[in-house]
Homo-oligomer: A and B are copies of this chain.
Amino acid sequence: MVASGEVGSSFQQKAYRAVAPHAWPRGISPFNKLVLVLIVLASLLAVLETEEGLLAAAPRLFVTLDLAFGLIFSAEFALRLWAAGADARWAGLIGRIRWLMRPIAIIDLIAILPSFFALAGTDAFLLRLVRLARILRLAQLGQFSDAVALLWDAVRSRRYELAVSFLAAGAVLLASAIMLYLVEGAVQPEAYGSIPRALWWSVVTLTTVGYGDVYPVTVAGRMLGGLTAIAGIGLIAMPTGILAAAFSDAFQKRRARHEGASERD
């Protein structure tokens, strides 16, 4: 009996190492590699299904694949839930509930449900929204990378400076919209007749997208528009400069830590 219990526990622990994102000794476990591929394929399916031409060409195929992915991810979710018991934090019923309350588990659950209930939806917009929830599964990918943590820390460490540069961008955005509203509003009321309208032009110009649906035509408007476009370069340069400095810092710190670690050896 004890031996049997031990075997069961050891089987659960092996499963836990294979399914939990960071429990595998090095890199990503073969099981999770397969899951990641399936997540990408299922998301691709959800994206392609929105194209009615494709859907009409093979309606049975899409329904069948939807159901198949739904079953696979349900089984995978159940397996993860069961295997989590091998970790002291998630052991027992209370542990399982704590495990289910983590944001990543809730997202996973929301992504599984539409495979079974979506067809009962009535409102077209809501139905679309629910069905696309399956794409949320892609958020799981983020757990598997150390580089994510490094980049995220670098961005976080400069959040005030980045916020200031975005506020500065917002100020230039508003100022250019106000100026164009004042000088072009009378000539092109459809495009610049109010500040909210002029803001569309401002954001398209400052980000250097430049669709060309609206652009100034008066001399004064073009001079201010040119200044806005030049200011847009500064607005791109500031966050880029801040991030470059932050990444440079982060890489140096990591290297210093590695060197410190190898000296101690």
Q: Whose C-beta in chain B lies nearest to the C-beta of A189?
A: B52
Chain A contacts to B: CB under 8 angstroms: 47-48, 50-52, 125, 128-129, 132, 135, 138, 141, 145-148, 150-151, 158, 160-161, 163-169, 171, 174, 178, 181-182, 193-197, 199-200, 203-205, 207-213, 215, 222, 226, 229-230, 232-252
Taking the full assembly, how many copies of this chain does it contain?
A: 4
Of the candidates B161, B194, B210, B235, the one whose C-beta lies within 8 Å of that of A209 is B210
**What are the residues of chain B within 8 A of A222 when measuring CB–CB?**
200
CB of B230 within 8 A of CB of A233, answer: no
With contacts A50-B195, A241-B246 known, what are 9 further pairs, Cβ within 8 A?
Answer: A129-B182, A166-B230, A208-B208, A209-B209, A210-B212, A213-B215, A245-B251, A246-B251, A249-B251
A180 to chain B, nearest CB (A): 12
What is the distance, in angstroms, from A165's C-beta to the closest C-beta of chain B? 7
A247 to B247: give the CA distance in the assembly, Å. 12
Contact (Cβ within 8 A) A226 B203: yes
B residues less than 8 Å from A241 (CB atoms): 240, 242-247
Decide: A236 and B244 in contact? CB cutoff 8 A.
no
Distance A233 CA – B182 CA, assembled complex (angstroms): 27
**Bound state CA distance, A167 and B152, in angstroms?**
13
Interface centre among A129, A199, A229 (most CB of B within 10 A): A229
Tell me which residues across on chain B come within 8 A of A230, comparing CB atoms.
Answer: 166, 169, 203, 207
Cβ of A147: which chain B residues have Cβ within 8 Å of it? 160-161, 163-164
B-chain residues with CB within 8 Å of residue A229 when the two chains form the complex: 203-204, 207, 209
Give, as a whole number of angstroms, the nearest-CB distance from A116 to chain B: 21
B232 touches A209 (CB 8 A): yes
C-alpha spacing A238/B148, complex, angstroms: 12
Which residue of A132, A199, A251 has the most chain B CB atoms within 10 A of its CB atom?
A: A251
A128: contacting residue among B141, B174, B182, CB under 8 A: B182
* CB < 8 Å neighbour of A196 from B47, B138, B141, B209: B47
What is the chain B residue whose CB lies nearest that of A183?
B125
Q: How far is the CA of A145 from the CA of B162 in the complex (A)?
A: 12
Q: Which residue of B lies closest to A139 (CB)?
A: B171
Q: Which residues of B contact A209 (CB under 8 A)?
A: 205, 208-210, 229, 232
